[in-house]
Amino acid sequence: MNMTVALVGVTGYAGSVLYQLLQSHPNVDKILLFGKINAGKHLSDLIAGLVQFHQADPVISVFDADVIMAKTDLVFFATPAGVTKDIALPFIQAGFPVIDLSGDFRLHAAAAYEKWYHKPAADHDYLAKASYGLVETHQHPAHYIANPGCYATAVLLGLIPLVKEHLIDLSSIIVDAKSGVSGAGKSPSASNHFVSVNDNLSLYKVNQHQHIPEIMQELQLFDPHLKAIQMTTTLLPITRGIMASIYAKIPDEIGDDETQIAEKISQAFENSYQNDPFIKLCGPAFPSIKDVVGSNLTAIGWQYNPVTRILFVVSVIDNLLKGAAGQAVQNLNQLFGFDPLAGLPLMPALV
């Protein structure tokens, strides 16, 4: 099957990377661009690097849900939070395929969205029609796919095997997550200005990041006894990449044999990811951000300290690929039954 797709929001970082991936996807014949603010402009006027020599220079059309449903097979929304909850409703009503990179439909509870995003939520009936799009753990019963957040992706992939196998004390989870500046989006601010970020580390949204309820919601599917996590987020002076450092205590009932505990931990990760082409299990050889940037990989390493009974897990991703555009293409491939590797880079940009 070859298809035509619509992309709403090509000018942001995630939208730009998604456009690049779709350009090389073997099952995507045509990409139609839609927007509001930039309607009528050529793509090269907005992001010159996305239009290569001898390539067509597409014009961004005025957003129109009816036109999109008539001319395309699926629509991607790469829009800021608070946008799709208003403009995606015709697609939900029609059962038209949507992959939404914003956070508007990730949370099942409207009250949770309003608390953490500080915006009005979509109606509960519409939220119920969305499927959370973490491909490693979810099949899609719905046509509206809510692409996971970048921090949530790294943290969930590092924790789900452990929570699923009941290997950690749920009350002890601490997440220290760090992101490159592209994770803050394209709009400039004092906090992501070069002078503020360069040669610096800065904390932000400590225990207040909007991906926390998303992480909680998904982990509770595997163990509803989880009540809270401690999560710190830090801005790194790099362009892209996320490193989630996760700490959790091994409960006494797991036993005291260090070798057996280490084997159970390794087996939990193997059971979850042994057949996944986008998960690289590193064991005690902790990965770095350079191991994944430029690829759709998640690299996970871990080490158990028998003295403190603390398990330390490191999960790294490229926030613009596995944390956004790459995962959106994974969802496209799963939804339409395409090759899981189609259109997705496996090799990181090591230099």
Beta bridge partners of 174: 230, 247
Please identify which of the residues 18, 112, 146, 150 carries the catalytic annotation: 150
Lookup: tokens for 26: 């073997």
The 10 Å Cβ neighbour count of residue 326 is: 27
Query: CA end-to-end span of the chain, whole Å?
Result: 36
Bridge-based pairing of strands 144-146 and 230-235 is unpaired
Q: For residues 102 and 53, what is the distance between their CA atoms, to the nearest angstrom?
A: 31
CA–chain centroid gap for 117, Å, is 17
Q: How far is CA 253 from CA 166, 168, 179, 256, in A?
A: 10, 10, 35, 9
Strands, sheet with 74-77, edge to edge from the N-terminal-most edge strand: 61-62, 28-35, 3-8, 74-77, 98-100, 144-146, 130-132
Give yes or no: 150 in active site: yes
What is the 3-state composition of the chain as percent helix, strand, coil, each rounded to the nearest 5? 35, 20, 45
Q: What sign has the CA pseudo-torsion 164, 168, 169, 172?
A: negative
Q: How far is CA 119 from CA 59, 81, 85, 157, 218, in A?
A: 31, 9, 10, 28, 21
What are residue 16's phi and psi, to 5 degrees?
-65, -45
Could you tell me which of 175, 178, 158 has the C-alpha nearest to residue 167? Answer: 158
Quote the DSSP letter at residue 59.
Answer: B
Quote the DSSP letter at residue 172.
Answer: G
Question: What 3-state DSSP class applies to 161?
Answer: helix
Q: Give the active site residues.
A: 150
